[in-house]
Structure 1
Amino acid sequence: MNSRSFFSELKRRRVYSVAVAYVVVAWLLIQIATQVFPFFNIPNWVVRLVVLLAIICFPIAVVCAWAFEVTSEGIKLEGDVDRTIIRKTGRKLTALIIIIAALAAGVTVFRFQHLQQATKAAKQRPLTVAIESKSIAVLPFENLSEEKANAYFADGIQDEILVRLAKIADLKVISRTSTRHYKSAPENLREVGHELGVAHLL
């Protein structure tokens, strides 16, 4: 038997159809195992076993498709089956493959849409950072005097307050370096507190 007649024989015996149907069904079973099994607290090794069995059984299914034919009278050797019966069986198998492929496509689209929605929701969900209740930041004081040279008094007051607050063991105090760029009297103090990660501002 040359290669051309061999592939023709594969086509006649519906080996290709069986292989495609097996791959689609195996893929569906693997998807069900990966999605449903964790919901019932089934161990991960069971999922791996399903994948392993699907791979091992593939060549067995191909050999069976070559050697046997499923008829209304049961499973028979391919050589003992009438050609008309083989054609009828082949049409049924083709219809089954189309149905399974449509089902697989539906599952794929559903999973893709679900993944997109989950990703979009994760991006829109704001990041919540736990802020300690015993935390404070001392913002830079503004020099309200007409003399700009007196600005160092405002800086000195901030440093003195920071030094005294730092002596409190249970209090989280933000350093002066982190609050330096808030010197221009920020309007939204709640947002500033969230950015600095503190519950109180001075």
Structure 2
Amino acid sequence: MELRQFVSELKSRKVYRTAAVYCAGAWAFLLVSDIIFPVVGLPDWTVTAVLVIAALGFPLALILSWLFELTPEGQGAHMAEGEASAEMPFSSARIIELTVVLILCGLVGYLYVGRLANPPDTSSIDPTIADASIAVMPFVNLSEDEELGQPR
């Protein structure tokens, strides 16, 4: 099978979409589990177990998306190569997907440009001071009791 033909077959069987949805779902589930599991009292290794299970399930999801096609009528076997797809190139779902992707790219670009435009001000930091330094402040007795400030 030629590479170009293989890539078009991946697109027609929606393997790319399955990979993207699986990664987004696994990422969201990992974020939620990272926050919720310690609150519930589960041990720290359970978050790692969720990560391992998600990683092991990824190839399985790709294999199932290659073998089966999910349609609004349910799960069915992939149609034969000779059959034409009735899917429109500019359906409403594709327009919504494109809009969401463009908005997310715009937000990431906006945040990135904002960081480049306003770099942190490092001119007030004295370069002679080491990174691990301690400031020692003199003790000033502000009370009326003279014995507090006297050495013993």
Question: TM-score, normalised on structure 2?
Answer: 0.58
Distance 1:93 1:52 in 2: 32
Gaps (5+ residues) in structure 2? 112-137
Shift of 1:10: 0.8
Distance 1:65 1:3 in 2: 19
Gaps (5+ residues) in structure 1? 110-181, 191-198
Counterparts in 2 of 1:82 and 1:20: CA distance versus 1, 3 Å:
same
Shift of 1:96: 7.2
Aligned to 2:72: 72
- Tell me the secondary structure at the aligned position of residue 65 of structure 1: helix
Shift of 1:13: 1.5
Shift of 1:87: 6.0
Larger radius of gyration: 1
- Tell me the secondary structure at the aligned position of residue 23 of structure 2: helix
Shift of 1:94: 8.3
Runs of 4+ aligned structure 1 residues displaced above 2 Å come to: 79-84, 90-99
Asked whether the 8 Å contact 1:17–1:94 carries over to 2, the reply is no
Q: How does 1:90-169 map to 2 (within 5 A)?
A: 92=93, 98=100
> Between Structure 1 and Structure 2, how many residues are aligned?
110
Asked whether the 8 Å contact 2:30–2:50 carries over to 1, the reply is yes
Higher helix share: 1
Counterparts in 2 of 1:11 and 1:26: CA distance versus 1, 3 Å:
same
Question: TM-score, normalised on structure 1?
Answer: 0.45
- Which of 125, 141, 149 is residue 189 of structure 1 equivalent to? 141
Shift of 1:57: 0.4
Counterparts in 2 of 1:63 and 1:93: CA distance versus 1, 3 Å:
farther
Distance 2:28 2:51 in 1: 11
Aligned to 1:45: 45
**CA offsets, 1:29-50, max 9 Å, x none?**
1011111111111222221111
The answer to whether structure 1 residue 201 and structure 2 residue 138 are counterparts is no
Aligned to 1:19: 19
**CA offsets, 1:6-30, max 9 Å, x none?**
0111112211111111111111110
Percent same amino acid among aligned pairs?
27
Partner AA of 1:83 in structure 2: S
